[in-house]
């Protein structure tokens, strides 16, 4: 039997296989799950080795920061205009932290965001009224920005939000205000 060049695989009493590998920082790290076959564990280790060599490895513990804590850091680190700062703090307090504040950044998934968005738009059992689509879209875009910074900071691998779909809602024009096509220039003389 040939010894692996990278990582180790061992058979557990349950019959499943556990994979372990040396992280780039020198710590011995287990795979996040066990495997049905030794081949599955070997393939996972090969992919993990390639990820480390490409420089794409992310510490699995890095995303274990609470969203609320990270969002506060995000707000502190960004230079915002006073009205934007006030808006974002309100969106965090009223719309994002109640749902995501106690979740680890790395544990927020697409399904969590879909559920949150639907609950915000439709009145749920614990809500007395739905929130307007513009407010939900602004909250969504802020959540997207925070999660994108989490990627840039090396805390998470991917953003669980699809910014192109749910964030498209725009504010309606003020009644009685002229639309861009309604304003005409006087003829030049």
Confidence of residue 26 (pLDDT cuts 50, 70, 90): confident
- What is the spatial distance between Cα 154 and Cα 177, in angstroms, rounded to a whole number? 45
Domain edges within the chain:
8-54, 67-168
Q: Which of 22-36, 126-140, 150-164, 169-183 has the lowest mean pLDDT?
A: 169-183
Topology of domain 67-168, CATH: DNA polymerase; domain 1 (1.10.150)
**pLDDT tens figures, 78-119:** 999 999 999 999 999 999 999 999 999 989 999 999 999 888
If we measure between CA atoms, which residue out of 145, 147, 156 comes closest to residue 64?
Answer: 156
More confident residue, 176 or 34: 34
- For residues 105 and 131, the answer to whether their CB atoms sit within 8 Å is no
Q: Could you please report the per-residue DSSP string of the chain?
A: -PPPSSSEEEE-TTS-EEEEEE-TTS-EEE-SS-BSSHHHHHHHHHHHHHHHHHT----TTTT-SBHHHHHHHHHHHS---HHHHHHHHHHIIIIIHHHHTTSBGGG--HHHHHHHHHHHHS--TT-SSPPPHHHHHHHHHHHHHHHHHHHHTTS-SS-S--TTTGGG--PPPPTTPPPGGG--PPPP-
């Amino acid at each position: 039997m040939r010894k692996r060049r990278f990582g180790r695989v061992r058979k557990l009493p349950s019959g499943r296989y556990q994979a372990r590998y040396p992280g780039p920082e020198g710590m011995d790290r287990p795979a996040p799950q066990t495997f049905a076959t030794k081949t599955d564990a070997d393939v996972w280790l090969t992919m993990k080795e390639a990820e480390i060599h490409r420089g794409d490895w992310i510490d699995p513990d890095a995303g274990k920061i609470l969203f609320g804590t990270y969002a506060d850091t995000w707000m502190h680190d960004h230079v915002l205009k006073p009205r934007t700062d006030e808006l974002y703090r309100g969106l965090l307090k009223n719309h994002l932290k109640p749902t995501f504040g106690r979740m680890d950044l790395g544990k927020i998934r697409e399904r969590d965001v879909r559920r949150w968005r639907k609950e915000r738009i439709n009145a749920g059992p614990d809500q007395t009224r739905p929130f307007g689509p513009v407010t939900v879209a602004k909250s969504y875009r802020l959540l997207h920005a925070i999660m994108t910074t989490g990627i840039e900071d090396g805390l998470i691998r991917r953003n669980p939000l699809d910014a192109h779909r749910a964030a498209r809602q725009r504010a309606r024009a003020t009644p009685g205000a002229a639309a861009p096509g309604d304003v005409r220039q006087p003829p030049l003389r």
